[in-house]
Amino acid sequence: MASGIKDKVAILGMGCSNFGERWNDNAEDLMIEAYVEALADAGIEKSQIEAAWLATAIEEEHVGKSAVPLSMALRLPNIPVTRVENYCASGSEAFRGAVYAVASGACDIALALGVEKLKDTGYGGLPQRNRGSVNDLFWANASAPGSFAQLASAYSAKHGVNRDDMKRAMAHISVKSHDNGSRNPKAHLRNKIDEDKVMNAPMIAEPLGLFDCCGVSDGSACAIVTTPEIARSLGKKDLITVKALQLSASNGREAQHNSWDGSHFVTTRAAANRAYKEAGITKPRDQVSMFEVHDCFSVTELVTMEDLFISDEGNAVKDVMDGFYDADGKIPCQIDGGLKCFGHPIGASGLRMIYEMYLQMQGRAGDRQRKEEPVFGMTHNLGGFPHQNVCSITIVGKEGA
Amino acid sequence: MEVGILAYGGYIPQSRLQRSEIAKAHAWFNPGLKGLAKGERAMANWDEDSVTMAVEAARDCLAGLDRDQVAAVYMASTTFPFVDRQNAGIVADALDLRSNLQTLDFASSQRAGSAALAVALQAAKGGSGPILFTTAEKRKTLAASPLELTSGDGAASFLVGQGKVIARLLGSHTEAVDFVDHFRGENEDYDYSWEERWIRDEGVVKIVPAAIAAVLEASGVKAGDITTFCFPLAARGSAAAVAKKVGIPEGAIADNLQANCGETGTAHSMVMLAQALEGANPGDKILVASFGQGSDALLFEVTDEIKSLPARRGVSGYLNRRYAENNYSKFLAFHDLVKMERGIRAETDKKTGLTTLYRNKDMAQSMIGGECSQCGTVQFPKSRMCVNENCGAIDTQEDYSFAERTSKVNSFTADRLTYSPDPPAYYGMVQFEGGGRLMSDFTDVSPDMEIAVGTPMRMMFRVKDYDNKRNFRRYFWKAAPDGAAKKGE
C-alpha cells in the first residue's frame, strides 16, 4: 500500500513574476523574474538544482515545444529538464514532477517552473485554436467561457436556482476576488468592482459576463523543492511540506455517457477524495485553512466548492452569499485575487497558487495576509472543459500538521 | 410496368428575409425594386448549402420508408458546393445509404431539376430499384438585383420507381432550345440577365406551351382536365400566360410561393410539385413544367396510394417553421456581399485532412456511433473501448445511427467570444432518446426562441467549417430546436 507524498518533500524556495499584460517582455523575461526570486528565497546555488520541469500549455504562442526554452533561459548545466502540458493543470504537473523526483530519491533538489506568454495574439481571451484533426470534425465550436458557462444552466436546472440568484452569487465571487486582488501588488487586475457592475457587464457566453471571466495574462512562477532533512540542513525552519498531490483525468464518461448531469466536476470529486485521504484530512470544512481554486470563471469556483466537499451539494450559492469564502470569511478562497485578478498565465497558474499558500503560511503575504495562521492550504486546477478535463489538487501545510 | 413518384419531401430554411428590408436598402439606387418589396424570401442559414438542403428534403421524402431499398441518388442544382466531388455522394453519405448505389449530379440549367426527375422516371422503368432524387438551390444574387428579391433558398426530393406509386407518370416531354435569357459563365458567381419582356414573349410563352402540348397529346389528357399546374417562374403572369395559351383552367395554376418563399432556382418546379402532392387527391392530374434553354413538361396522375404515405413535414411544414428576418445586413454577411471585420479569431485555419475525413466519415458525415454488444450502452463517437465504466469491453461496438434520433438539451450557452458567422454561437450538451450524448453545435436558433435545459432538439446536416483558403467545406450534424418555446411565453 502506497503511503502517499505527505511530508516527504518540502518547499525550499518560491518565486512569482508580476502577472499581467507584459507587452515588453518575452517568456524568457518572465521565467528569469520568477526564477531569480525563487533561487534567492531558497538560498542555494544554481548548480545544486539537479532536475527541472517546465510547464507551458499554449507553447505555440511563445516558446515552442520541449524543455529547451527553460534550460536555455536559466542556462542550466545540461541537467534533465522536462516539459509538461496538461491543459490548465500544467503548472501543477511541473510541481508534481519535481516533488516526485525528490520523493523518489532520484535527486535532492528539483525545480518546477511554469510560464505563459499569451498577450501576443492581438485580441482578448485565450487563443482561438484547433483541437486536433479528428476532434475538429465533430467538436462543437466551443470557447472556454462557453464551455464553463454551461455549468450554470445545468446547475440551476438541477438545484432550482433562478437565473438572478445564480448571477448574483457569481457576481459576489468576482467582487470578492477583485477586492483581494486590489491588495496584491503582483496581480494583473487590482481594481475593486461592485455586484451591479458584474451583473450589467457585456455578455461573453450566456450567463457569463465580462467580469465572470478571469484575466488572460503573461506570467511565470517557480518552486524549488527538496527533502525536509536537506531543507533543515540548509537552515530552513517551520517547513512547508507537500501533503497531497492528486490528479484526475476524464475518461469520456462526462462527454459520452449519460450518467453525468453537467452540474459538477467528476474529476474534481475523485481527486479531492484522494487528496484528503493522502493528507490525512477527515473534515475538510473544518481543517483546510484556505483555498486557491481554479476560478477561470465565477461559476467554476461556485461549483468547485461543492466538488471539494466544502459546501454541501446545492448549498454553494448560500455559502458564497454568506461571505464564507471572503478574505475575512471562514475559509478564504482566492485570497490573492485568484485566476480572476492575479491572472491566468496557464502554465504558471498552479505554481502561483502554491506560491500564495507558501507566502501566507510564512506570514509574508503583506496587505492580504490572513490573520488566523493557516495550517493546510489547498490548490486546485481544472484544465479543459467541464465535460472533458483534467483536475489537479495540491495540499501543502505546516510540517507535521 | 408503370413508374411514378413513390414519396415526396420538401425543405425550406426557416429564416424569411422581409423583402421590404431589401428594398429599403436599395430603392435609392433602383426605385423599381419597390415593386417587388412585398412578402418574404427564404434565406438559408450560414451553414446551409445546396447539399445540406438537399439532405433535409431527402430525409423528409424518406420519412417512414426503408432506406436500404434506395438504388440511386440523383441531385440537381446550379449551385453545387463542389465542382469536382460528387454532391449526390455527400447526400447519400449523410443519409447513411449503402455504397452499392448509383449517384449522379445534374447541373447547368434552371431546367436541371425537372430534367433529373424525367431521367429518374425513365431509369426507373429499368426496374433497378427506387431512385432518390433531390434538388436544392442556394442562388447567389447581386445586391440590389431583382433576383435578390424574387429568389429563395429551398429543396425538394422524390423517391421514384415502380410499384406503389402515389403519382403515376402519364408522360413527359422536353423541348431543348438554346434560348439564353440569362447565363452564368465559368468562375462567375452571379447571373447575367436579359430583358424580362423579351424572355416572356419570345421565350416562355412560345417554348413552354410547345412542351406542354406535346405531353398532353402523347398522354391523351385534355388541358382542361389538369387539376394543378406547377410553373416556377417568379415573373408575374408567366404561369397564367402559359396556361391561357394551352387551355389550362386558371383555377389550376399553383401558387408559385413568391409571397412566402421565393423562386428556388432549378429546384423550384420540384418544390411546387412536392407542395402540390401534399394536398392532392386520387385522380388529380398534376402538370409540372420548367423553363431554361427549353422546357420540360411532366404529367402525373395521383393514385389511391397517396393516402397510405407516412406523414411528413413537406414544403408546407417547413414553410410553417418560420422566423421573419428583418436584418438584411445578415443576408449580406452570409453571402459575402459586404466586406466585414470578422476579427482575428476568424483567421483560424480550418484545414481538413482528407485522410482523416475518409477514415472518420461514418462518424462525421453519417453520424454513426456505437452500441456495445456486451452491455448495450450507446455512445458517440464510436470507440474501441466501451465508455461504460462498468463494462469497458474492447471492440464490441456495433454501428448505431444517431442522425434521426431526437434529443434534449442538457446544458447550453450562447457564446459571443468564439468566432461564428452568426453570433452568438449556441451549443451545448444534448442527450439522445435511447442513450448517448454530444457536446453539439446548435443551429437555427432564431432570436425569438427560448432555449432551456430540456428543449427538444433534432439533428440537422450542416456545414461545420468553411476552409476559405482551399475552398473546401466540411459537414457535420448540429442540433436544431424542434419545438422551442418563444421568448416571453
| CATH assignment at residue A101 | 3.40.47.10
Chain A residues lying within 8 Å of B412, measured CB to CB? 150, 153
User: What's the rounded Cα separation, in Å, for the pair B134 and B119?
Assistant: 13
User: Cell numbers of B305, please?
Assistant: 396510394
List the single residue in A129, A138, A257 with the smallest CB-CB distance to B379. A257
Q: Is residue A132 part of a domain?
A: no
Same domain? For A193 and A304 the reply is yes
Give me the pLDDT at residue A129, please. Answer: 86
Closest approach of chain B CAs to the CA of A159, in angstroms? Answer: 12
Task: Name the DSSP class of A44.
Answer: -
Chain A residues lying within 8 Å of B435, measured CB to CB? 258
Same domain? For A75 and A185 the reply is no
Residue B1 pLDDT > 80: no
Same domain? For A197 and A166 the reply is yes
* Each residue's pLDDT tens digit, B172-191: 999 999 999 999 999 999 99
User: Which residues, including other chains, have CB under 8 Å from residue A198's CB and lie 6 or more apart?
Assistant: A170, A171, A174, A175, A209, A211, A212
A344 in active site:
yes
User: What's the rounded Cα separation, in Å, for the pair A210 and A232?
Assistant: 47
Chain B residues lying within 8 Å of A202, measured CB to CB? 416
- Let me know if A98 is exposed, middle or buried by CB neighbors in 10 A (0-12, 13-18, 19+): buried
User: Which domain range does residue A349 map to?
Assistant: 143-208+240-398
Same domain? For A229 and A195 the reply is no
Give me the pLDDT at residue B118, please. Answer: 98
Asked which of A179, A200, A233 is the last residue of a domain, the reply is: A233
Closest Cα partner for B108 from B337, B294, B272?
B294
User: Which residues, including other chains, have CB under 8 Å from residue A194's CB and lie 6 or more apart?
Assistant: A175
* Each residue's pLDDT tens digit, B223-259: 999 999 999 999 999 999 999 999 999 999 999 999 9
Same domain? For A271 and A307 the reply is yes
List the single residue in B387, B414, B420 with the smallest CB-CB distance to A256. B387
Give me the pLDDT at residue B488, please. Answer: 78
Q: Does domain B347-357+405-486 have CATH number 2.40.50?
A: yes
A178 in active site:
no
Give me the pLDDT at residue A37, please. Answer: 98
Which of the four pLDDT bands, split at 50, 70 and 90, describes residue B484? Answer: confident
Q: Is residue A369 part of a domain?
A: yes
Place of cell 428594398: B23
DSSP string across B321-374? S-EEE--HHHHHHHTT-S-----GGGG------HHHHHHTHHHHTT-EEEEETT
User: Cell numbers of B96, please?
Assistant: 447513411
Percent of chain B with pLDDT over 90: 97
* Each residue's pLDDT tens digit, B69-103: 999 999 999 999 999 999 999 999 999 999 899 99
Give me the pLDDT at residue A346, please. Answer: 98
Q: Chain B: residue nearest A124 by CA?
A: B417
CB A205 within 8 A of CB A146: yes
Give me the pLDDT at residue B127, please. Answer: 82
**Predicted complex: ipTM over 0.90:** yes
Q: Which of A172, A188, A264, A344 is catalytic?
A: A344
Give me the pLDDT at residue A128, please. Answer: 86
Same domain? For A45 and A180 the reply is no
Give me the pLDDT at residue B468, please. Answer: 95
Closest approach of chain A CAs to the CA of B220, in angstroms? Answer: 54
Same domain? For A16 and A96 the reply is yes
Q: Please give the tally of structural domains in chain A.
A: 2
Query: What average pLDDT does range B280-301 have in this prediction?
Result: 98
Label the pairing between strands A290-292 and A376-385: parallel
* Each residue's pLDDT tens digit, A220-259: 999 999 999 999 999 999 999 999 999 999 999 999 999 9
Chain B residues lying within 8 Å of A128, measured CB to CB? 344-345, 347-348, 418-419
Give me the pLDDT at residue A215, please. Answer: 85
Residue B10 pLDDT > 90: yes
AA letter at A385: F
Report the residue of B355, B360, B411, B442 to disrupt the A interface, i.e. the one with the largest count of A CBs within 10 Å: B411
Give the fold, CATH level 3, of B3-334.
Answer: Peroxisomal Thiolase; Chain A, domain 1 (3.40.47)
Residue B128 pLDDT > 90: no
Mean pLDDT for all residues in chain B: 97
Which of the four pLDDT bands, split at 50, 70 and 90, describes residue B474? Answer: very high
Q: Which regions in chain A score pLDDT beneath 70?
A: none
Place of cell 536537506: A230
User: What's the rounded Cα separation, in Å, for the pair A66 and B327?
Assistant: 50
* Cross-strand partners of B293: none
Q: Is residue A367 part of a domain?
A: yes
Which of the four pLDDT bands, split at 50, 70 and 90, describes residue B6? Answer: very high
Q: Chain A: residue nearest B368 by CA?
A: A138
